[in-house]
Amino acid sequence: MVRNRFKYSEVTPKKMFLKRRDLLTKGLCLSLLGTTGSFGWASPTPVKSTWSTNREPNSYDDITSYNNFYEFGTDKSDPAKYAHKLSTKPWTVEIGGLVEKPGLYHFDDLINGIVLEERIYAFRCVEGWSMVIPWVGFSLSQILKKIEPKSSAKYVAFETLFRPEEMFGQRYNILSWPYREGLTIAEAMHPLTILSTGLYGEELPKQNGAPLRLVVPWKYGFKSIKSIVKIKLTDKQPQSSWNMQNPREYGFYSNVNPEVDHPRWSQATERPIGNGLFAKRRKTLKFNGYGDEVASLYSGMDLRKYY
Ligand SMILES: Nc1nc2c(c(=O)[nH]1)N[C@H]1C(S)=C(S)[C@@H](COP(=O)(O)O)O[C@H]1N2
Ligand SMILES: [Mo]
């Protein structure tokens, strides 16, 4: 397969991005953009979403070379070096727990009929760095509607695959494998919560969590679990690998909150990636700037207690 990847480093990313978006809307996509043909990984036709931020996205290079994906090592540069070892085709997702339609879903069947959108989201890692990322994806709620949660379902649990032959990081006990995360059903149904299958209009790179990865833009980055193979609806709060590793430092909710510091550092400001070492820090916004949309999910809750 010839991948006709634009070299974002050769042009200003925004310019190229807009040019590409133009092509997309003109419907010239499949042949010109070299997407994966019958696969719907990145979609020839991402729809522009009103949920996007107006902020300028980071470059393709920033987004695909500075990563956290501990299955491939703990250095930021490790995932870009080693994630190619992961085989993602074919891919299946096991769906179970409190749903009417459990089963082992082939990736293609799972996303069949779903319209992919472009969502430019702010992204904030708990470590203090941030980016703006033009995802391709769709609201998780669309999948949940397909699989029909029972009324007793209160949470959604996610798991990354466990395959130490391809993911050497899983041979070390840095985290409890497989990587696990969870959301309340209200968080999972919120239209801002997406499953991503691509970025910058093309198939999701493996270091970013191909072929299917969660993105919850108002929460710290570790909630956005990569390379998902299991989705389970439960009536009990799911385990999360980071919470298991250090419950005092990483709570279940982990909403971005400049007023609640990490026990070892302040969360008041963030370092935007990509503007050089001396880039000015930005003030971190409550709920990462998505408060108007999501604050009501937590009304009456003490966000210091439920960190
Ligand atoms: N399976 C898995 N998912 C993961 C991680 C990981 O180590 N393993 N790291 C998390 C963390 S800490 C962050 S900040 C984001 C990073 O996403 P990015 O590399 O696409 O920016 O992925 C999250 N999802
Ligand atoms: Mo993170």
Tokens 């989201």, residue located: 121
d(CA 198, CA 137): 7
Ligand 1 close to Cβ of residue 43 (< 6 A): no
The finding on whether 68 has its CB within 6 A of some atom of ligand 1 is yes
- Take residue 125 and report the two structure tokens written for it: 């890692």
Instruction: Per-residue pLDDT tens, the chain, 307 aa: give them.
Output: 333 333 333 333 444 554 455 444 433 333 333 333 344 566 556 677 789 999 999 999 999 999 999 999 999 999 999 999 999 999 999 999 999 999 999 999 999 999 999 999 999 999 999 999 999 999 999 999 999 999 999 999 999 999 999 999 999 999 999 999 999 999 999 999 999 999 999 999 999 999 999 999 999 999 999 999 999 999 999 999 999 999 999 999 999 999 999 999 999 999 999 977 777 999 999 999 999 999 999 999 999 999 9
Q: How far apart are alpha carbons 132 and 41 in whole angstroms?
A: 21
Q: Check pocket membership of 67 for ligand 1, CB cut-off 6 A.
A: yes
Please tell me the distance from the alpha carbon of residue 307 to that of residue 301, in angstroms, as a whole number.
Answer: 10
Ligand 1 atom closest to Cα of residue 242: 12
Q: Residue 40's pLDDT is what?
A: 57
Ligand with an atom nearest the CA of residue 217: 1
Annotate 85-107 with b (16+ C-beta within 10 A) or e (fewer). ebebeebbbebbbbbeebeebeb
User: pTM (2 decimals)?
Assistant: 0.89
47 burial via Cβ count (<10 Å: 0-12, 13-18, 19+): middle
Contact between residue 234 and residue 154 where contact means Cβ atoms under 8 Å apart: yes
Ligand having the closest approach to the CA of 181: 1
Q: Which residue has the tokens 């042949």?
A: 31
Provide the residue type at 51 as one letter: W
Residue 71 Cβ contacting ligand 1 at under 6 Å: yes
How far does the centroid of ligand 1 lie from the alpha carbon of residue 70, in Å? 8
| Ligand 1 center from residue 257 Cα (angstroms) | 19
Residue with tokens 């919120």: 190
Phi, psi of 99 (to 5 degrees): -135, 155
Please tell me the residue having the least CA distance from ligand 1 atom 21: 67
DSSP class of residue 58?
Answer: P
Greatest distance between any 2 Cα atoms in the chain:
53
- Centre a 10 Å sphere on the Cβ of residue 59 and count the other Cβ atoms it contains: 21
The dihedrals phi and psi of 158, each to the nearest 5 degrees, come to: -125, 150
| Closest ligand 1 atom, residue 69 Cα | 7
Laid out side by side, the sheet with 180-184 consists of 103-106, 92-97, 228-234, 155-160, 180-184
Query: Cβ(226) to ligand 1 under 6 A?
Result: yes
Task: Please indicate whether residue 221, judged by its CB atom, sits closer than 6 Å to ligand 1.
Answer: yes
**Does 69 contact ligand 1 (Cβ within 6 A)?**
yes
> Parallel, antiparallel, or unpaired: how do β-strands 47-48 and 117-124 relate?
parallel
Residue nearest to atom 10 of ligand 1 (CA): 222
